[in-house]
Amino acid sequence: MRLRSWKQLLFLVSFLLLSVSTAFSVPARRGIFQTIVLSDGTHVSVELSGDEKVHWWQSEEGERYVADASGKWQKTTPVEMALRARQRAAARQRIATKQRSDARELPFRTLGHGAPAFVGIRRALIILVEFADLKFDQSTFGNTRTLFNRIANEQGYSEHGFKGSVSDYFKEQSGGVFNLVFDVAGPVTLSHGYSYYGQNDADGVDMHAFDMVREACKAVNDSVDFSDYDWNHDGEVEEVFVVFAGKGENDAKDSNYIWPHMDHLSYDSTGAITLDGVKIDTYACASELGYRGQLSGIGIFCHEFSHCMGFPDMYDTSSGGTNFGMGSWDLMARGCYNGDEFTPAGYSGYEKMVCGWTQPVELDSDTDVTDMKPLSEGGQTYIVYNKGNRNEYYILENRQRKHFDKALPGAGLLIEHIDYDKDIWYWNVVNSTRGEYYVGASQVPSYNDHECVSLFHADNQKSDYHVAYPYKDLDSLTDSSLPAAALWNANTDSTYLMHVAIENIKQNADSTMAFSFVRKTATGQDEKQNGILFRETFDQCKGTGGNDGRFSGIIASSLFNPDNNGWDMGAPFIDDCRYGASQCARFGKGNQISSGYVRSPTFTLPSDTVTLTFRAACWNASADGTNLGVSVEGNNTTLIDSGLLTMKRGEWTTYNLRIKGSGRCRIAFIPDRRFFLDDVVVKWKANKSTGTDIRHTEVVTPSGRQAIYSLDGRRVGDDLQRLSSGSIYIVGGKKVLK
């Protein structure tokens, strides 16, 4: 890539960081396929992907397609989708920023910490709407109003596949303290056909969903007193929920259906409405029918209603994101689809805590827990705080396949990792790191650089299965386990480790859990004293290529397994191109420009000049350019030396760059295409003891000889003192710099 193109990439990334939408919705149901016909007559099998904000149809090869206004299928890319999302977000941003200053106590704007508890009996409104050309299926399911009154309110409702009502769900999650009573109004018939309200605009967003809600509210005004739904008497209704006839676009092939979502009427040019002396702004909607034409379960309803209560999405909402988030373990992620929506995942320990329904026990000293009951049966939860930042913590909960958790993908001890930031919650980018932005109190756009509500996966793989502990012989989370007890914010000793052991995890015969908690002594003092602010060895990557002397061919495609969590692809239009090589990493693909653009985890600068050292090598192919751009990201950081570097094809080069700044920082590496990266170190003070920056270094003396190998696997002797200086060797399975 030419320098001009590299600069254009940086500009484009900056441009995309200004993309946001604060609408809340559900992800597409997995497994919705259709065959589309392209303009050249080619037939392509595609699957529905994305959510209400940004959705597309994706082929098995990863190509994305959207239908234009005339219904013709066009190929698109993540970057094009992100650009369209930004255009839509521009108008919303002005309104959302103003609303932030007028935020009420209950909605999502402040829910997270210090939010009011949801307790007592609360009345909520459901309005049933049908369209001029699409009616409720009363011939199959009977009287619509009676049916939805039972679905919403009846204790133990079990007809048509249901495993309980909406009211049952929230009563179970709250331990019986939050009792929702739904008033059901309608059905009312809207003035247009369903395609008028649900047809997509150029951004793929329903064009007149706001009109649907306004019409529905006005149609039932004579029979409804909207002031009954102002829970805290602040002059604004907490929510209005619309159930519309037919299917939703989230699990159907017809793009003219409405995608279930939660939103605010004030985000539309017409604005909120006032009826019965109260403002109606916050609303949610869901469909009558599911993807097979059966009644929709309660999963999507509960998901969208929870948005009205204040919860953000716990899945990756970005246009190209691959973050796991909470997967099928949480209602606010894909768990709303569990059991065909009839048994959606229960609230997580975190969500129950912020609602005021549970109070976790803090673990700070050595503790043995022997009989931890399932969360779905009122089991106790436990919390472990980062001593350096109490907004970051782990929550331990026992999740079993019981009650509404019946369709979970597994069972055992679930360990959540939360890093709370009110601005990230407000902008609904909790687990989005691919170009989504948020605006804090300073009104300066910022981006989220890591998953803020995630799970430790017992098997260290990003899938729904084998998440809970124990898995096989994996029964511990410690500073040295895989995954490790890592942190996003520095602990009191400046390391990014929790310094605890959650060990001997086991499930008892009665489905209770047992574990031991041990507070460990900080192990990072040597690193801190030697001025090591950040170190990444990639030693846990067990693939081929790079350190074995191979830089081309069928190599470097193994599991990416870094020492530190938080390495992510740098822009929303880049696919996940992170791979494990031979104790190093490879980033990028040969057929995608800038696909190796990657960002490091965050670390903290000490208000001084530090040195960044790393090794890099270009993939040994003519199409892979040798340019490498390096930049630092942080509000108070500067790269003193030039970040425009040149790599060598098929050969390692060590680079040293100076950084000056303070506060949180991360490093961005921007190559032309594919490159190898290893031994990334950010150092503040000189290491006066050994003069080396390589992790796991052992100084081997003649009295302690052992076999020594070169990086390409050749044995080169057993006496390190006789070998050439300035080279890296493998001694006892560890890298050693002499």
Q: Are 601 and 534 in contact (CB under 8 A)?
A: yes
Neighbours of 663 (CB within 10 A): 13
Per-residue pLDDT, 728:
62
pLDDT value of residue 735: 58
Residue 242 in this model has a pLDDT that exceeds 80 = yes
Three-state SS for 381-421 is CEEEEECCEEEEEEEEEEECCCHHHCCCCCCEEEEEEEECC
Predicted confidence (pLDDT) at residue 80 exceeds the cutoff of 70: no
Q: How does residue 385 score in pLDDT terms, banded at 50, 70 and 90?
A: very high
Q: Compare 155 and 714 and report the one with higher pLDDT.
A: 155
- Collect all residues with Cβ–Cβ distance below 8 Å to 461 and sequence separation of at least 6: none
Residue 635's pLDDT is 75
pLDDT-derived band at 662 (thresholds 50, 70, 90) equals: confident
Nearest to 49 by CA among 367, 316, 387, 288: 316
Look at 24 and 359; give whichever has higher pLDDT. 359
pLDDT grade, residue 29 (50/70/90)? low
Q: Which of 103-107, 361-365, 485-489, 606-610 shows the lowest mean pLDDT across its residues?
A: 103-107
In terms of pLDDT, which residue wins out, 727 or 634? 634
Q: Say whether pLDDT at 669 is over 90.
A: yes
- Give helix 3-16 / helix 78-101 axis angle, nearest 10°: 40
Cα 647 from Cα 640, distance rounded (Å):
20
CA distances for 137 relative to 140, 149, 150, 194, 554, angstroms: 6, 15, 16, 15, 56
Encoded amino acid at 362, one letter: E
Q: Could you tell me which residue, 203 or 543, shows the higher pLDDT?
A: 543
Tens of pLDDT, residues 393-412: 999 999 999 999 999 999 99
Question: What was the pLDDT predicted at 207?
Answer: 81
Mean pLDDT of 541-561: 93
User: Has residue 573 got a pLDDT over 70?
Assistant: no
Mean pLDDT of 30-55: 69
Q: How confident is the model at residue 714 (pLDDT cuts 50, 70, 90)?
A: low
Radius of gyration of the chain (CA): 27
The distance in angstroms from the start CA to the end CA of the chain is: 35
Domains of the chain: 3-88 (no CATH), 314-464 (no CATH), 532-683 (2.60.120.260), 702-737 (no CATH)
Q: Produce one character per residue of 36-48: b if its CB has 16 or more CB atoms within 10 Å, e if not.
A: beeeeeeebebbb
pLDDT, position 448: 79
Q: Out of 102-111, 177-186, 264-273, which region has the weakest mean confidence (pLDDT)?
A: 102-111
- The average pLDDT across 151-171 equals 97
By percentage, how much of the chain surpasses pLDDT 90?
55
Phi-psi group of 120: left, alpha or beta (phi > 0 → left; psi -120 to 50 → alpha; rest → beta): left
Residue 437 has pLDDT above 60, yes or no: no
* Three-class secondary structure of residue 97 per DSSP: helix
What is the C-alpha to C-alpha distance for residues 478 and 2, in angstroms, rounded to an integer?
A: 45
Q: Please, where are the H alpha helices in 102-222?
A: 138-141, 144-153, 166-173, 194-198, 209-219
In this predicted model, what pLDDT tens digit does every residue of 181-195 receive, in sequence order?
999 999 999 999 999
Predicted pLDDT at 322: 73
Averaged pLDDT score across all residues of the chain: 82
| Site of tokens 């109606």 | 280
Instruction: Provide the pLDDT confidence category of residue 350 given band limits of 50, 70 and 90.
Output: very high
Q: What is the pLDDT of residue 255?
A: 78
- What is the pLDDT, as a whole number, of residue 693? 36
Spatial distance between the Cα atoms of 320 and 447, rounded to a whole number of angstroms? 15
Cβ atoms within 10 Å, residue 24: 25
Quick one: pLDDT at residue 432? 84
Q: Average pLDDT for residues 94-100, to the nearest whole number?
A: 41
Residue whose C-alpha is closest to residue 647's, from 630, 628, 631: 628
Give CA–CA dist 12/79, Å, rounded.
9
Q: Which residues contact 243 (CB under 8 A, 6 or more apart)?
A: 126, 127, 128, 129, 148, 285, 286, 287, 288, 301
pLDDT at 379: 97
What are phi and psi for residue 83, nearest 5 degrees? -65, -40
Give the pLDDT confidence of 104-128 residue by residue, as tens digits: 333 333 344 444 558 999 999 999 9
Name the pLDDT band for 325 (thresholds 50, 70, 90): very high
pLDDT band for position 269 (50/70/90)? confident
